Amino acid sequence: MSNVLRVALVDPKDSSRESLKSTLLGMDIVWLEAECSRYEFFSDVVGQTNPDIGIVAIDSDPEKAIRLIREVNESTPDCSILVISGSSDGQLILKAMRAGAKEFLTQPLVIEDLVSALERIGHHRFGKGDSKSRGCKVITVCGATGGVGSTSLAVNLGCILAAQEQNNVALIDLDLALGDSDVFLDTIPDYTLLDVAQNIKRLDFNLLKRSLTRHSSGLYLLPRPVQLQEEAPISPDDLSRVIGLMKATFTHLIIDTSKAYSALDMLAMKEANVNLMTIQLDLPCLRNVVRLMMSFSEVDGLKEKTRVIVNRVGLDNGEISLKKAQETIGSEIYWQIPNEYRIMVEVRNNGVPLIEQAPRAGITQALTGLAEALSGDGSKKNAGGKSGLGRWFGFLSSKADKAGKAEESEASADA
């Protein structure tokens, strides 16, 4: 329980208290420690349970609630107060904040606003480095061109993360036209991203989870729409709300973008903690990465959180060297995935993820290392390492170097 926010709730109105309780119980970022129906008892409840956040619905008796906020703030200063009210009166808001409230939300409650308020309190209370302020890690997987394996990377990375008991992982397929993450997982979903987006205003956390398809690995999937549309059926605002809901529900959210870099794709990348740019060591990919990075540099922070992933390393002897690739794109290679074509064809055609069908394969181990790095501080990288996976890639590099030297020797002999 060290990675969630512990919450105590007080609301004399049964209907609104039950509604808010249901919302909180559906959120993985909080633990409902206690609920109370009387303002008079809440201070004692807070003292006994010592929650991180006290949620006070003040409409039953605003003056009594304001006194309660002041009392809790003085007796238990470690408990941050979040106020909920149907009134947006400026004087009432000012009184609540002066009494010690950290956040003030108006009803009807917008779930994204509640999530944001909880995240702000968690960040302020525990800081970035404390494990207690967990949040959700949002990862987009994009490709420098089509066919580089970005969907395969997204699906298998999601399954590897979901296999860890402490994780709760979801995947959004944002390629609205040709996404095929459901094929990789051999699933026939009942609902799609379009269904969720169109009903976002009435969704709660429990209904959201029922709208997702759960794979045997534990990964939840929200696939692309079934029908092709002439116009984008999902607006950026719709997608933003979907992401907001899922951030409050999951520890990891992976978004497989399209290759169009549409408004939806760019929104997802801005929302993400890290963007994995998947490439191969060939000229078209490197050219596109340079163009994309130039574009990303115009968006605050986007280029800095984009990591280049080289897929299918060792594909053939004619591929561009890692050193030359890094010089061309002007940034380091964050991770390398070896080429194991036969294994990937098998898992794709069987609809079974790597972690289940080939757990000991080099490609699976590389993705497992990537998952571990992304779950940590994000600074770890396998490009140039000399232990573990680094030995595997060192072997590939030395093998390629030997092949190149052999060709040079043969050429000299022929001359």
For residue 363, is pLDDT > 50?
yes
| Span 148-194, pLDDT tens digits | 999 999 999 999 999 999 899 999 999 999 999 999 999 999 999 99
Q: Which residue has the tokens 């609902």?
A: 191
CA distances from 213 to 17, 141, 412 (A): 30, 20, 59
Q: What is the mean pLDDT of residues 136-155?
A: 95
Long-range CB pairs of 269-272, under 8 A, 24+ apart, other chains included: 269/140, 269/142, 269/302, 269/306, 270/299, 270/302, 271/138, 271/240, 271/243, 272/138, 272/139, 272/140, 272/305
Q: What is the pLDDT of residue 404?
A: 46
pLDDT for 28 equals 73
Helix/strand/coil for 294? helix
Confidence class of residue 9 from pLDDT cuts 50, 70 and 90?
very high
Q: Is the pLDDT of residue 102 over 50?
A: yes
Q: Is 97 helix (H, G, I), strand (E, B) or coil?
A: helix
Question: Strands 101-106, 80-85: parallel, antiparallel or unpaired by DSSP?
Answer: parallel
Cβ contact 212:182 at 8 Å? no
Is a pLDDT exceeding 80 seen at residue 66? yes
Per-residue confidence (pLDDT) for residue 119, from 0 to 100: 83
Give the model's pLDDT for residue 72.
96
What confidence tier does 25 reach under pLDDT thresholds 50, 70, 90? confident
Report DSSP letters for 356-408, one per residue: HH-TTSHHHHHHHHHHHHHHTTS----TT--STHHHHHHHHHHHHHHHHHHHH
Report CA Rg, the chain: 25
CA 307 to chain centroid, in Å, comes to 15
E strand or H helix at 117: helix 111-126
Length of the chain: 415
Can you state the percent helix, strand and coil of the chain, rounding each to 5? 45, 15, 35
Percent of the chain past pLDDT 90, that is, above it, reads: 65
Q: pTM for the complete prediction?
A: 0.73
Calculate the CA 186 to chain-centre distance.
Answer: 23
Distances (CA, A) of 222 to 185, 195, 371, 383: 12, 10, 20, 32
383 — pLDDT class (breaks 50, 70, 90): low
Which residue's structure tokens are 């106020």?
Answer: 83
DSSP character at residue 201: G
Chain segment 256-288, per-residue pLDDT in tens: 999 999 999 999 999 999 999 999 999 999 999
- Residue 397 confidence class, pLDDT cut points 50, 70, 90: very low
Q: What residue has token string 């990303």?
A: 296
- 104-135 tens-digit pLDDT: 999 988 888 898 898 888 877 665 444 344 56
